[in-house]
Each structure stands twice: as structure tokens, then as C-alpha cells.
Amino acid sequence: MNRLNGKVAIVTGAGTRPEDGVGTGRASALLFAREGAKVLIVDRDVESAERTRAEIETEAGEATVFEADVAIESDCRSLVDAAVERYGHLDVVMNNVGIGGGGKVTEIDFDEWDRVQDVDVKSMAMISKYAVPAMERSGSGSIINVSSIDGVRAGAFHNIPYAVAKGGVLILTRAMAVHHGRQGIRVNCIVPGHLDTPMVSALPDEARELRRKAGPLGTVGTGWDIGWAAVFLASDESRWITGVALPVDAGTLAATPLSMYDKIGE
């Protein structure tokens, strides 16, 4: 219960409405706090962020809510400043916010394209721009970016804007890991598979069942699965790991489509 003792962490998109279940950000913020971190809960939906804070405080953890749109640079700067002002230093940033964006290339709405790039990948660069100097002052740091299996391979849906943004997260992670390693800052990326989170709550049961079967483990992933990977990457247990894209996906990226043929038809 003390793997993150003494650490100060920012988690973006750590709200999530309770009626919809637990998203990756909410689960990560709760686990960070249980492991001893002080957490700045960032979300543009302040009510849902307050619920995460209340849950953390019920468990005797420590958290502060910060309302921000991570697509706005001044908000990104302010949220980093807020963490340092409130808790004195900064050790961990989990860049978790992500929104969907659909279409084949012939169908793209380029206003939506711009919004998805801004929210899903530019936000991570903007927050990191201000977090890196703060972590350097702390002597070290861990940045955890959330990508997707759709950023590695063509996804189940036509979603070029989302896929391009999530692919961008991979190279952003690797380049930042190289640029800031000597400052003691590690930068890694989690690559979630088909999770059952609020982001996909509108999917019909048939699609959810297919998503379950698509992974070799054949089980449903949740926000908690991402949260536990984030705890490891945030903690000193991963002190020698940087520049990594860690799939948390029931083995989906290990499979080829035909290797799953018999299992998906089960």
C-alpha cells in the first residue's frame, strides 16, 4: 500500500461519471492514492472529478480537483503549477485523456480531426512542456502517456483521426524518453486493448462480446487493469524502464487475425 509514498501525481481525465463505470483515469487516481501518492485530479467535468476526490478522501487518501481542458495550453501550464503549489513538487504525470474520432480517410471531418489531435496528443506534449522542468526540479519523474492498440494496428472501427493521434502518442513517448533520460525523467506509454469503460458504454452487447473474444485471454479489461500498470510505471519499481509502449490488452497485439479465427467464432 505504499508503493508511491511521498510522490505527487497528476492524472488527467480522472473523473468519469459513476453511472457509466470506472474509466482508466479514475481507477489510476484511486490506485495512486491508495499507494500513498497525493493526486491532482484533472478533468473538464468538475463534478465527476469531485466524485473521484470524495472517493479518495473516504479512503483517507489525499487529492485535489483541478478543472481544465487539456487542449488549451494555458490550462496545461496552470495544472502543472497547481500541483507544485499545492504539494511542493511533481513526480508523476499520467496523460490519460482521450476522445474518439471516426471515419475512413474519405470520410474525415477535419474540424473533428483537429479537435481529436489537440485533445489526444497535443495535450500530452503541452502538459509535458511544463511538467518536465517541474520534474527536473524534483530530481526525477515519470510520465505515463495513454495510447491504444488502435495506434499500433488498424482498429475494429474506421477511426483514422483517433488512430493517428494514438500513433503519435507512441513516438512522442519514445522521443521524450530519449530527450529527458539524463534529467532522470522516464517516459512510458500504456497501450490499452478493448476495455469496458465509459468511453465504450454506448456499444451494443454484440460488439462488446466481440471485443472480449478478440483477446487471447478472452476476458474483459477494465480501467483497473490500466491503473495497476500505471502504478508500476509511476513507482520506483520501474526505475530502469523508459521509452516503452506496454500493451495491456489481453494479448491482442500478440495475435494475428487468423490466429484468433477459431476463438472469435466460439
By the criterion CB under 6 A, which residues form the site for ligand NAD? 13, 15-16, 23-25, 43-45, 48, 68-71, 96-99, 119, 146, 148, 192, 194-195, 197-200, 223
CA–CA dist 86, 9 (Å, integer) = 11
The residue among 25 and 141 lying less far from ligand NAD, judged by its C-beta, is 25
CA–CA dist 54, 73 (Å, integer) = 28
Q: How far is the CB of 3 from ligand NAD (least distance, A)?
A: 22
Count CA atoms within 13 Å of residue 80 on its CB side.
28
User: Annotated catalytic, 130?
Assistant: no
For 169-178, the CB contacts below 8 A with 24+ separation are 169/120, 169/121, 169/124, 169/145, 170/245, 172/121, 172/124, 172/125, 172/145, 173/145, 173/147, 173/243, 173/245, 174/243, 174/245, 176/128, 176/132, 176/143, 177/242, 177/243, 177/244, 178/243
The residue among 95 and 242 lying less far from ligand NAD, judged by its C-beta, is 95
Which residue number has the CB closest to ligand NAD? 98
The residue among 49 and 135 lying less far from ligand NAD, judged by its C-beta, is 49
The residue among 138 and 223 lying less far from ligand NAD, judged by its C-beta, is 223
Q: How far is the CB of 26 from ligand NAD (least distance, A)?
A: 7
Q: How far is the CB of 83 from ligand NAD (least distance, A)?
A: 15
Q: How far is the CB of 154 from ligand NAD (least distance, A)?
A: 14
Q: Which of 87, 130, 162, 261 is catalytic?
A: 162
Annotated catalytic sites, by residue?
A: 162
